[in-house]
Structure formats: C-alpha cells, structure tokens
Structure 1
Amino acid sequence: MKKFYLIIWLCIILCSCSANNIPTSTNPNIQIPPNTSVAFVDLNGNFYPENWNTQIGPYKKTSSLYLTAKKNNIAYILTNFETKKLAEYHQNILNKKRVFIFVHGYNNDAAKTKRNYDLLRTKINLDPIQDEIIEFYWDGLVSKDPIGSAKIWFYATGYSQMAGEFGLRKILNEIHNKDIFIISHSRGASVVLSSLSNPPYNDDFRRDTEKLGIAVDNKIPLSENTNRIVCIMLAPAIGEIDFTKQSDNEAYRTFSSQLKNIHITINKDDIVLKKFVGLQRKFNPTTLGYDKKAYNNLKSTYNFFTVDNFDGQNSHSFDVYINNPKFQQMVETYIKNR
C-alpha cells in the first residue's frame, strides 16, 4: 500500500505545474502608514528593489534576482537597495515598543497572503503608535491546481530556508531591545527557524544552488540585540530535522537566548500536513504540526516549546487557523496581555 501511495505522489509531481510568487507591484517593499512595513524577497532571499522588473530585467522561473542582475552586470542595484531598505526598517522600528512579523506558507500568492495578513491584523490588539507590523513575503511558489502543491513542496522547502537565512534574519538584525512576535503559517515556520539559526539544507538543494554560484551558508549570524522573541507557528510544516545541524543531522542546533517561546499547533486532521495519504514523515517531514511525537522529542532538548491541539479542524488554510478560537487564546496569552 505504501508503494501505491508513493507512485501516486510521484505521478502528481511529474504532472503538475507551478509559478513563482512575485510582487504585483513594481515597488513592493514599502511603508504603509501608520505602522506597517512590507518586505518581499525572491527565492534566494533577495529584497526586490524599486522598479525591479525594469531595472533587473526579465524574471525567469528558474533564476533569481541575484542571478539576473549578475548576468546583466548590475548586481550593485540589489546591494544598494538592500542597504537602504534595511536602514528604513531600522528607523521605522526605532521608537516602537513591539514588532509583529507575519510569515505565510508555501503555495500562496501575494494577493491571497495580503488578505490573510489583513485578517490576522484584526485579531491582534495593535497600538498604531507603539507597534510596528512587518508583512514578510517570500517565494514559496504557487500552483493553480490543488494537486500541484505536491510538486512545489520540494522546491519550497529549500526556498523557505533561503528566505529566512538571507532575508528575514537581516531584518531581525536591525531590531534592538524589542518584544518581537513572529506569527507564521505552514512552511513559514521554516522561514522563521532559518532566520534564527542556519538551517540544514537538503544535499541536492545545496549542490544545485551552489552550482549557480549562490552560497547557502550565511556567515552573518543572528545578532544578539537583547530582543525578546516569541514565535507562534500555526500548522508548522516542519519536522525534527529542521532543528538539526547542517553538519550533523543527529544533533540539534542551538538558538539565541532572545528566543523566549515557540508556541505550535498540532492537528492530526490537517490533510496537508498529513500529505493527504499519510506521508507526513516522508519527503521533508511535516510531523511537528501533525502529531505530538515530534514535539515531545524536541521538548526534551528545548525548554521554549508550548503546544495547542487543533485536532478536529480538517483545513490547512491560514485563515481557518487564524479564525480558530484557540488561536485567539494564544493571542491573549502572548500579545494582548503585554
């Protein structure tokens, strides 16, 4: 029976198509008054510059902003814009007390993500003066047919790590002495983990990426900026391996003392985390959000874990998790009471 499921899974992969999650705007990384910053990165964690579609040139599905700019000998545009944009993030946050960072999962386009971020905003007691929101968008790929999500999953797992290590971490390094609340969905949990500590890349992804001249090992670690980081991971599509070291998949890696809590949901009725046919432990595991076994194993190493059971909810959709009353309780615990 397992072989039968495997054949079905492989057929899905071979017969499906996908597209990149790219901005609909020529200037996506903007400030939205009174207190929202937008951060949009490509599949390698590069921030989209102003007029990216005309300055950088045609964006290819199999390429990246970095490679396209390098080919056109204008890579300095990315570097200069990133420096400028990170300085703006720093300035926007400087006088704020709390920072909220929203991170979507794979198989979400910008428009759908924006609707979910707006919904998420309504669930939080925000102070427009003291709070800053960062809407983080990354290239988790998009499939137009539900079955195609199987194919893009394999690529999105690596891209999520690049987005966190080379995109979100740079933003976190601009924040000092703040309460930071990172709310993620699905594979967005990998983006978050990868921003906090260098992730263990799949050997094939590492090899293929480095062949393109793109290094996957970031020499710039998370800065010790005395922040207090709380992560709420809804339907985390990750497993124990996502907490291991690149050099040793049998050993868990360490995280900054700034990380105060990771609060996850588990849900054995989430069909996406189950991978529809019970392959949650295969093909880049999604076990942390699926059952309590992975949580218990990690809890023995990390004391920052907390869990809520969402069994009975059969949808994986971000908005359904946001609207779950148990999520509101999580918000009350970590956010509204501070």
Structure 2
Amino acid sequence: MKKHYLIICLYIILCSCRTNNIPKSTNPNIQIPPNTTVAFVDLNGNFYPENWDTQIGPYKKTSSLYLTAQQNNTTHILTNFETKKLAEYRQDISNKKRVFIFVHGYNNNEAKSKKNYDLLRTKINIDPTQDQIIEFYWDGLTSNNPFSSARIWFYATGYSQMAGEFGLRKILNEIHNKDIFIISHSRGASVVLSSLSNPPYNDKFRRDTESLGIAVDNKTPLSENANRIVCIMLAPAIGEIDFTKQSDNRAYRNFSPQLKNIHITTNKDDYVLKKFIGLQKELNPTTLGYNDRAYNTLKSTYSFFTVDNFDGQNSHSFDVYVNNPKFQKMIDTYVKNK
C-alpha cells in the first residue's frame, strides 16, 4: 500500500504545469560553418521552418507545431521546408567521413543543451574537414520548479519517441555510408531508439495523440544506407520496455544491421534514474541506466550492448557525465583511431 501511495503522489506531481522547449530564433534549423548542423523539432517531431512564429501563427504550448499550422491552413509550409532542409543536410554531409549527433534529455532548454553540446566538442577529436556535427534539439519540456523532473516526465517520454521516430530518423535517412556516432543523455536515449525503429507508445499517449489527428506509427522505416551506427547513451532513462514491439510488449523488436553498438552507462547513485524514492521500475522505467539488471536481460537478445559503470557519481547532469574520465575512454574507444 505504501508503494502504491507513493506512486499516486508522484502521478499528481507529474500532471502539473509544464513549459515547452521552443527555439529562441525564428530560424533555428541552420548550418554553422564549417561543419555544424542545427536541427530543432517540436513535440511531435516537426522541424521548425524559417520564420515559424509569423508564418504559421502563434505557437501554443498545449499543441504541436503541426496543429498550429493546421489551424492556420499552412501545413504546406512545414512540408516544403522539411523537404528543402533535408536536402541541405544530405548535401552538407555527403563529403564527410564521420557524423556526430548530439541528443539532450528531458527538462532541458535550448541554451542549457547548447552549453553541453559545446562541452562535448571539447572531448572529441573533431576534424572540421572530415566530420559533421548535428546538434539535435527536441521538446523534452522544461520547468524551474523544484519538482520539474517529476512534473514533466510522463509527457516527455511520449514526446521523446515522436522526436526520434518523426524527426531524427528523417535525418538518418539522408546519410549514406558513414560512421555515425550518436551521443545522448537521459531520455535522449529514447529519441535515439525511436529513430532506429518504431517505439511502443503508452496506450493513453497514443489515444490522446491520435485523437488530435496525429499518427504515431511511422510508415517510413530507417533506410538501409550502409551506415555504421554507434550509440553512446549517458544515463539512459529507459527500460526494457523501450526495446519491445509496438504490438507486443512481451517481445523485443529488431534493429537494423547498421546499428553496431549501444554503449551505456549505469549508475545506482544517479538520484534521477532512481526517481528519488526508488521508483526506477515504475512510471516509464529508467532501469537501463540505473543498474546492470536490465542490461543483462537485454544482452541475451542484443549482441551490440556494452556497459560502463559510473557508480559513485551522485549526479544526473549531462555535463557531469561528459566530464567523467570514463566518458573520455568511451569516446576514445570508437573515434580515436578512425
């Protein structure tokens, strides 16, 4: 009874106020010479077009960019911009050898994520002529409230799946025969997984989203483009269920042979993954990043798993994980001699 009471209390906290992570710029999806691409999607994975705030009307925090455009009969603006922007991504990447994609977690705004992305750059031996960096921003919601992590968690879990399935996957499908390194933090791991194959949505999230006329099942799969994909997931706020099939959460889903490795961290001292009061298995699990139990279970199905233990680090912050010497060793394993 005590555990159920705690779950009910946490649920009440989760259902309180939230703020969307929207770009400050009216033209956020840009190229920054010599080798950086900025990709910014809304809560349903739609890319923000140029002058999005004036072309499609005021963006409402309770709706998606798509719905706002639909209400203003300007959905063609989103479609046309996306086609143009993806072609630009393809061109910028075409002459590069390696592609690094950075994906932040939930409860992060653009400015905070940008600082962490800049920190990541300092840890990687980037060659500006051979490497392309993609800074991926998604709507993981934000809040300055002390209970912010709990307040927005339910919503962010579904939006992370939409961002990966309908946003990041489109970028991956423009990349051919490259070494791709995707570095994510926290719930960003869900964005990554959802870009690689369709995720299992929470039933309520599915019903609520589809009632707005937004499909959650993407008919365009990850293209087999002969890429070599390595995912480094710092403090992955996901569980075994995130690897299951949409139609049957008792069966694990398949991934493209392009996925060569998922390298995760585990940390029993990460209070966010523990969910403060020991509810890592409840309310959308965070067990993969908390300890090695979920990892050991998944390892028997997926041979691409590697793990590093970060026990003793009493922080969930992206920058603390990046500054941990163990992270540098993880990076060096894959990119030092490339």
Query: Using the alignment, how far apart are the partners of 1:134 and 1:125 within structure 2?
Result: 15
Superposition deviation, residue 323 in structure 1: 0.2
Please say if 1:250 is aligned against 2:250. Answer: yes
Q: Deviations over 1:60-112 (max 9, x none)?
A: 11111111111111110000000000000000000000000000000000000
In the other structure, the counterpart of 1:95 is 95
Shift of 1:296: 0.3
2:219 corresponds to? 219
Q: 2: distance between equivalents of 1:83 and 1:10?
A: 40
Residue 143 of structure 1: how far off its partner (Å)? 1.1
1:313 & 1:255 partners in 2: Cα distance? 31
Structure 2 distance, partners of 1:24, 1:301, is 42
Secondary structure at the counterpart of residue 147 of structure 2: helix
**Which deviates more, 31-40 or 2-11?**
2-11
Q: Which moved more, 1:167-176 or 1:145-154?
A: 145-154
Cα distance between partner residues in 1 of 2:313 and 2:167: 32
**Matched AA of 1:132:** Q
Match of 1:62 in 2: 62
Partner residue, 2:193: 193
1:313 is aligned to 313
- Matched residue, 2:269: 269
Give the residue type in structure 2 aligned to 1:328.
Answer: Q
Give percent identity, aligned residues only: 82
3-state SS of 1:176 partner: coil
Partners in 1 of 2:304 and 2:57 — Cα distance? 44
* 2:281 is the alignment partner of 1:278: no
8 A Cα contact 2:164 2:194, kept in partner: yes
Is the Cα–Cα contact under 8 Å of residues 176 and 227 in structure 1 kept in the other structure?
Answer: yes
* Equivalent position of 1:79 in the other structure: 79
Contact 2:101 2:135 (C-alpha < 8 Å) held by counterparts: yes
Q: Does 1:141 align with 2:141?
A: yes
Q: Give the Cα–Cα distance (whole angstroms) in 2 for the partners of residues 327 and 37 of structure 1.
A: 24
Letter of the structure 2 residue corresponding to residue 267 of structure 1:
N
Code of the aligned partner of 1:237: A
Query: How far apart are 1:146 and its partner, in Å?
Result: 2.8
Question: Structure 1: where are the runs of 5+ without partners?
Answer: none
CA shift for structure 1 position 4: 4.3
Partner SS for 1:264: strand
**2:177 corresponds to 1:177:** yes
Cα deviation, 1:129-185, whole Å, max 9, x if unaligned, reads 000000000000001113122121000000000000000000000000000000000
Aligned to 1:207: 207
Question: What is the CA–CA distance in structure 2 between the aligned matches of 1:322 and 1:107, rounded to whole Å?
Answer: 18
Structure 2 CA distance for aligned equivalents of residues 315 and 170 of structure 1: 33
1:21 aligns with 2:18: no
For 1:146, the aligned partner's letter is P
- In 1, Cα distance between equivalents of 2:270 and 2:150: 15
2:239 aligns to what?
A: 239
Name the SS of the counterpart of 2:183 in structure 1.
strand
Q: Which amino acid aligns with 2:229?
A: I
Instruction: Return the alpha-carbon distance in structure 2 between the equivalents of residues 256 and 6 of structure 1.
Output: 36
Shift of 1:336: 1.4
Counterpart of 1:3, as a letter, is H
One-letter amino acid of the counterpart of residue 166, structure 2: F
Cα distance between partner residues in 1 of 2:211 and 2:135: 31
The CA distance in 2 between the partners of 1:4 and 1:218, in whole Å, is 37
Distance in 2 separating the partners of 1:162 and 1:201: 9
TM-score by length of 1: 0.98
Look up the match of 2:6.
5
- Alignment check: 8 A CA contact 2:56 2:72 kept: yes
Q: In the alignment, which residue of structure 1 is the partner of 2:112?
A: 112
- How many residues matched? 337
Partner in structure 2 of residue 41 of structure 1: 41
Q: Distance in 2 between matches of 1:153 and 1:324?
A: 26
Structure 2 unmatched runs, 5+: none
In 1: Cα distance, 2:256 partner to 2:81 partner: 28
Q: Which amino acid aligns with 2:28?
A: P
TM norm structure 2: 0.98
Deviation of residue 8 (structure 1)? Answer: 3.6
Assess if the C-alpha contact under 8 Å between 1:18 and 1:144 holds in 2: no
Q: Render the CA deviation track for 1:192-211: whole Å, top value 9, x for unaligned.
A: 00000000000000000000
